[in-house]
Amino acid sequence: MLPDIHRRIVNAKYVLEKAASIQAESSEMSFSISLLLLHDAIELMMLAVLDHLKVNVKNKREFLDFWSDIKQAGLPEPPDRIPMEALNKLRVGLKHNGNLPNPQNVRELLPRARGFFENVLGSYCQMTYEDVSLIDLIPDEEVRTILKAARQKFKDGDKPTAMADLKIAFHKLDNPEGKYLPKLCVPEKPSLSPDIAWTEFGKYLGQLHSFMEQCASRTNALMFGIDPIRYARFTASGPGVQWAMTGVPYVSHWSTYQEVSLENFDEFISFLIDYALKVSEAYIPLAVRN
């Protein structure tokens, strides 16, 4: 498969997963937006697959032409026409007639859309849905490599190392080589003598510094367009990582992470993908900053 077609398939999956995540808002309009994104994701996948198969298509085509296009090319007809036709009817009703879809119908279409992806990828691209990694969207090659290896380590049972790799990838996104990420930084916590640190005043200073750290992190998340709750959940999870002047990370684990499921781990990776895409737009070359 050509790299540009693979990239288009990755983009299609990204749109599909965005359609899934927006359903969690559970508002009337969130399901309408999800429906539009589901339709767009399916169509992006169709066009990428047709291009991969070198199928000639009409300049002006309809959503459901995918089935006849594949059949006319002498290939086995794709499955899932009935649920995709239902999706298309809901989308036409929303976009052209202003009819808001039934939320339950949109919920039920999500696994059918994923099934369409799985079936089409398997039939015409010799790939599975899981083979299409959204990690490939991350611009930084080193971060991509770290996260792909981390997911494999997690699946192999090495959860501590995998969780540490997530924090290392996060650090590298915040400190890109040759670039600067404009964000709020909290002043370094003062070093207090033991006779002051354990007084009420010393405890207050510690609490104040923690509060400032939380305010800065949430402000940074909002500034970059990141959900501050997801940001807080990620930063509070996993090990503590300190970096030496030489660039070597020192990891402190507080848990064996046995309670962390693969679904939880994939959500952390999903956060890092979104974070990487957002902060990459904010990077400033060091030459400009200086």
Q: Over 70: is that where the pLDDT of 288 sits? A: no
State how far Cα 252 lies from the chain centre.
Answer: 26
The verdict on 97 and 144 lying in the same domain is no
Work out the end-to-end distance of the chain between its first and last CA atoms, rounded to an integer number of angstroms.
43
Return the closest-CA partner of residue 12 out of 119, 103, 129: 129
Whether residue 190 is contained in a domain is answered as no
Q: At 242, is the pLDDT very low, low, confident or very high (cuts 50, 70, 90)?
A: confident
The verdict on 104 and 157 lying in the same domain is no
The verdict on 283 and 143 lying in the same domain is yes
- Count the domains in the chain: 2
> Which range, of 56-60, 203-207, 265-269, averages the lowest pLDDT?
56-60
Phi and psi at 285, nearest 5°, equal -60, 140
The tens digit of pLDDT for each residue in 181-239 reads 999 888 888 788 888 888 888 888 889 988 998 899 889 999 999 999 999 999 888 89
Given 132, 154, 169, the domain boundary residue is 132
The verdict on 26 and 60 lying in the same domain is yes
Query: In angstroms, rounded to a whole number, what is the distance separating the alpha carbons of residues 95 and 10?
Result: 26
The verdict on 285 and 143 lying in the same domain is yes
The verdict on 100 and 144 lying in the same domain is no
Arithmetic mean of pLDDT, 237-244: 86
One-letter amino acid for residue 184 of the chain: L
Return the closest-CA partner of residue 230 out of 269, 189, 286: 269
The verdict on 44 and 151 lying in the same domain is no
Radius of gyration, alpha carbons of the chain: 23
Query: In angstroms, rounded to a whole number, what is the distance separating the alpha carbons of residues 63 and 89?
Result: 10
CB 225 within 8 A of CB 278: yes
Phi and psi at 16, nearest 5°, equal -60, -45
The verdict on 176 and 70 lying in the same domain is no
* Confidence (pLDDT) at 15: 96
Q: Over 80: is that where the pLDDT of 289 sits? A: no
| Six-digit token string for 110 | 């999500």
pTM of the prediction?
0.83
Whether residue 106 is contained in a domain is answered as yes
Residues 6+ apart with CB under 8 A from 69: 50, 55, 57, 61
Whether residue 241 is contained in a domain is answered as yes
By CB atoms closer than 10 A (0-12, 13-18, 19+), residue 257 is: buried
Q: Over 60: is that where the pLDDT of 252 sits? A: yes
Whether residue 127 is contained in a domain is answered as yes
Whether residue 214 is contained in a domain is answered as no
The verdict on 146 and 256 lying in the same domain is yes
Given 132, 157, 175, the domain boundary residue is 132
The verdict on 175 and 107 lying in the same domain is no
The verdict on 125 and 146 lying in the same domain is no
The helix/strand/coil state of 107 is helix
Whether residue 195 is contained in a domain is answered as no
Sign of CA dihedral 104, 107, 109, 115: negative
Whether residue 230 is contained in a domain is answered as yes
| Six-digit token string for 90 | 């809901």
Query: Which residue range is the domain that position 256 belongs to?
Result: 139-183+224-289
Whether residue 256 is contained in a domain is answered as yes
The verdict on 108 and 146 lying in the same domain is no
* Confidence (pLDDT) at 104: 93
Arithmetic mean of pLDDT, 259-281: 94
Provide the CATH number for the domain around residue 105.
1.20.120
| Six-digit token string for 202 | 């010393």
